[in-house]
């Protein structure tokens, strides 16, 4: 038996949404200033496609009997929260180093990457806490991919913050070799962080929108009876 056409359409919309967001990030990184309007156009298109795709898959899964409720204490969720705790510890270390080791312009360098990493970490926690799709479903795979991108973006930004704190006051020469050696590693994850933030924002927006739609439909299907 072939796949449900509604499910296939939902997956196609979601993939198209992620593709549009990826194109927007590519234009942001490699495009010129004149391409800014196309960047926002693709980002908006990606948000719309993700919203519609997630709404369709949520509606379809709502019509199907759920075998069992997803357990928040599952092994996978524990691994996610352990990863979040590790990232939070790395963020604390980067903040301490930026405050106590960095000097001059290197302080701004370190703090800038720290802020990007914190944005990724906040979105990581938000997606992990707000979205609990059925284990093994297509949406569970999408959730895992989004969390992976956000986690890698946060990790790379914190590593880059630690590395940036090791430069001199002019932010040119290496002052603390053990720290600046980390900067080259963190740079490899820079594009991931640029993708992670809009991806996380669009995902949270889509999850909130579909939850609100489901709540409205539930209230319309089961209206509250007036007291007798």
What would the DSSP string read from start to end of 151-199? Answer: HHHHHHHHHHHHHHTTB-TTSSSBS-HHHHHHHHHHHTTHHHHHHHHHH
Domain span at 121: 74-228
Rounded Cα gap, residues 84 and 117, in angstroms: 12
Rounded Cα gap, residues 19 and 25, in angstroms: 10
On whether both 87 and 59 belong to a single domain, the answer is no
For the CA atoms of 123, 72, 56, 16, the dihedral, rounded to the nearest 10 degrees, stands at: 40
pLDDT at position 73: 42
What CA–CA distances, in Å, run from 21 to 52, 80, 95, 203, 212?
15, 24, 30, 11, 23
Pick the last residue of a domain from 65, 89, 109.
65
On whether both 82 and 185 belong to a single domain, the answer is yes
DSSP annotation of 132:
-
On whether both 95 and 142 belong to a single domain, the answer is yes
On whether both 210 and 155 belong to a single domain, the answer is yes
On whether both 17 and 84 belong to a single domain, the answer is no
Is residue 57 packed enough to be buried (19+ CB in 10 Å), middle (13-18) or exposed (0-12)? buried
Q: What is the pTM of this model?
A: 0.66
On whether both 172 and 198 belong to a single domain, the answer is yes
On whether both 133 and 176 belong to a single domain, the answer is yes
On whether both 147 and 127 belong to a single domain, the answer is yes
Token reading at 20: 């549009």
On whether both 154 and 212 belong to a single domain, the answer is yes
Q: Can you give the pLDDT of all 228 residues of the chain as single tens digits?
A: 455 666 677 778 777 777 776 776 566 556 555 555 676 677 667 666 766 776 666 666 555 555 454 454 466 777 888 888 888 988 898 888 888 888 888 888 889 989 999 999 999 999 988 888 877 777 888 888 899 999 999 999 998 888 888 887 877 777 787 787 887 788 887 778 888 899 899 888 888 888 787 777 766 666 655 554
pLDDT at position 72: 46
DSSP annotation of 35:
G
Q: Are 117 and 158 in contact (CB under 8 A)?
A: yes
On whether both 89 and 149 belong to a single domain, the answer is yes
- Proportion of the chain in helix, strand, coil states, percent, rounded to 5: 80, 0, 20
Pick the last residue of a domain from 38, 65, 92.
65
On whether both 88 and 167 belong to a single domain, the answer is yes
On whether both 78 and 61 belong to a single domain, the answer is no
pLDDT at position 173: 74
Pick the last residue of a domain from 17, 36, 65.
65
The domain total for the chain is: 2
């Amino acid at each position: 038996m072939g796949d449900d056409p509604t499910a296939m359409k939902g997956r196609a919309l979601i993939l198209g949404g992620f593709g549009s967001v990826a194109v927007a990030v590519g234009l942001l990184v490699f495009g010129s200033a004149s391409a800014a309007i196309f960047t926002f156009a693709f980002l908006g298109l990606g948000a719309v496609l993700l919203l519609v795709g997630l709404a369709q898959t949520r509606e379809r899964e709502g019509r199907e009997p759920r075998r069992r409720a997803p357990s928040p204490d599952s092994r996978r969720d524990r691994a996610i929260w352990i990863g979040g705790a590790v990232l939070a510890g790395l963020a604390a270390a980067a903040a301490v180093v930026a405050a106590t080791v960095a000097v001059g312009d290197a302080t701004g360098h370190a703090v800038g990457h720290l802020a990007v990493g914190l944005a990724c970490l906040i979105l990581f926690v938000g997606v992990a806490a707000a979205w609990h799709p059925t284990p093994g479903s297509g949406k569970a795979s999408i959730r895992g991919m989004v969390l992976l991108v956000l986690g890698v973006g946060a990790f790379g930004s914190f590593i880059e913050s630690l590395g940036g704190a090791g430069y001199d006051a002019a932010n040119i020469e290496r002052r603390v070799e053990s720290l600046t050696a980390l900067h080259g590693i963190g740079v490899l994850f820079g594009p991931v962080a640029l993708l992670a933030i809009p991806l996380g924002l669009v995902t949270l927006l889509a999850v909130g929108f579909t939850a609100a739609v489901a709540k409205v439909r539930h209230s319309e299907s089961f209206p509250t009876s007036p007291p007798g």
